Amino acid sequence: MNYNIALVPGDGIGPDVTAESVKVMDKVGEKYGHKFQFTTVLAGGAAIDAEGTCLPRNTVDVCKNSDAVFLGAVGGWKWDTLPGDQRPERAILGLRKELGLFANLRPALLFEELAGACPLKAEIIEGGLDIVVVRELTGGIYFGEKGYKNTELGRAAYDVEQYSEEEVKRIAVVAFDMAMKRNKKLISVDKANVLESSRLWRSVVTEIAKGYPEVALNHMYVDNAAMQLVRDPKQFDVIVTSNLFGDILSDEASMITGSIGMLPSASLAKGNFGLYEPIHGSAPDIAGQNKANPMASILSFAMMMRYTFGLTNEADEIEKAVKSVLGKGCRTADIMSPGYELIGTKEMGDRIVKAIDEQ
């Protein structure tokens, strides 16, 4: 099979980790008889420097005409002084809107080999952690009305949190479908004791639950959910929540696994189309120094295999290779601890390619 992928290396360590991921993809293609055709386009700071805008029209067009999109990372201190609507990070919001990416999947998986890096007590994480946060991605406060006005207390700024029934329905369906494929447990997170938007959210999710009688649905306020993630994370399996709450909780969930450098993500539209990216930032302080951990990026490609292309065996192959390399004691600086072998970005990519070859 032939697959066309829009490649957006971006800024900072984005190009570093993307290069290693492409090596892994090429190896998978060679082994399974697939052809992955990559078209590289600009977004973020790199696009600002080259074309004066964080999301050129050509980038959007190439992404729309591809089977899937892969993103490295965007942003960096070089562009910190730009106005908010011109910053590199706006490219991400633009792509989500242009591509209709309404569902963000963030797995928080604690690799057995990295259990020692988890900041929680050993007894709390005994048996491992495997959580998926399903975050609504194109609604809520990030996309609502915003602005400034004058008040008796001086200038004020506002951002509106708004959700429609359809926006909640479609993300709820994604979450319930995910729960059906896992342990049939779903926790919907909101702030229904305070916010009208959350009351609608809870009402719609409860209605959708009637179509999934096998899934045990529970509701949880966001402040309690944040506490429970560190108190008893194993009670969670699939979490569904709004854009703002999902942004915060998915980062919290990622850190209890020990390293943000290990975790991939998928942003999905209707059908099988998706954008895939590691959840770590651009880390400009180590860009180009062969220090970045490429595993989250490589695992993002595994998610692409699974969710967009339906290539389950190929996805399993990548994930097994990552575990194999970790099992042999190979570590990048962010997950390094005494007694293990410290290697760089490029060598980690090479080791994972070799592991795929040997499987």
Q: Is 232 among the residues known to form the active site? A: no
> What pLDDT is attached to residue 309?
96
Longest dimension (CA), the chain: 70
Q: What is the chain's Cα-based Rg?
A: 20
* In a domain? residue 112: no
CATH number at residue 294: 3.40.718.10
Q: State what percent of residues in the chain have pLDDT above 70.
A: 100
Question: Among the options 142, 169, 320, 323, which is catalytic?
Answer: 142
DSSP assignment of 49-113: HHHSSSS-HHHHHHHHTSSEEEEEE---GGGTTS-GGGSTTHHHHHHHHHHT--EEEEEEE--GG
More confident residue, 68 or 263: 68
252 and 268, same domain (yes or no): no
Instruction: Give pTM, 2 decimals.
Output: 0.90
Give me the domain span that covers residue 330.
1-102+264-359
Question: Among the options 26, 237, 251, 350, which is catalytic?
Answer: 251
Check pLDDT > 80 for residue 259. no
Q: Is 340 among the residues known to form the active site? A: no
Where are the strands (E) in the chain, listed by range? Answer: 2-10, 35-40, 68-73, 103-109, 130-136, 146-151, 154-159, 185-190, 216-221, 238-241, 264-268, 274-278, 330-331, 341-342
> What pLDDT is attached to residue 333?
93
303 and 252, same domain (yes or no): no
The whole-angstrom separation of Cα 241 and Cα 257 is 20
Residue at a domain's end among 256, 285, 303? 256
Sorting pLDDT into bands at 50, 70 and 90, what band is 324? very high
272 and 251, same domain (yes or no): no
297 and 185, same domain (yes or no): no
DSSP state of 125: H
Q: Is 191 among the residues known to form the active site? A: yes
Q: What is the pLDDT of residues 13-41, one digit of tens each?
A: 999 999 999 999 999 999 999 999 999 99
State mean pLDDT over 38-52: 97
State mean pLDDT over 284-291: 97
Question: Among the options 3, 67, 191, 212, which is catalytic?
Answer: 191
Residue at a domain's end among 237, 256, 275? 256
Check pLDDT > 90 for residue 254. no
214 and 153, same domain (yes or no): yes
Question: Among the options 11, 16, 247, 334, which is catalytic?
Answer: 247
Question: Among the options 49, 61, 159, 223, which is catalytic?
Answer: 223
CA distances from 135 to 107, 140, 189, 247, 336 (A): 11, 11, 10, 7, 30
Q: Is 251 among the residues known to form the active site? A: yes
- Domain count within the chain: 2
Q: Is 276 among the residues known to form the active site? A: no
State mean pLDDT over 274-279: 96
* In a domain? residue 27: yes
> What pLDDT is attached to residue 110?
87
Sorting pLDDT into bands at 50, 70 and 90, what band is 348? very high
The H-or-E segment that residue 19 falls in is: helix 14-32
> What pLDDT is attached to residue 257?
83
Residues in the chain: 359
Sorting pLDDT into bands at 50, 70 and 90, what band is 271? confident
Check pLDDT > 90 for residue 216. yes
* In a domain? residue 163: yes
More confident residue, 86 or 59: 59
Q: What is the pLDDT of residues 87-102, one digit of tens each?
A: 999 999 899 999 999 9
Check pLDDT > 80 for residue 153. yes
Residue at a domain's end among 199, 226, 256? 256
Q: What is the pLDDT of residues 167-205, one digit of tens each?
A: 999 999 999 999 999 999 999 999 999 999 999 999 999
> What pLDDT is attached to residue 68?
98
Q: Which residues pair with residue 37 across a beta bridge?
A: 4
State mean pLDDT over 269-294: 95
Whole-angstrom distance between the N-terminal and C-terminal Cα of the chain?
Answer: 21
127 and 247, same domain (yes or no): yes
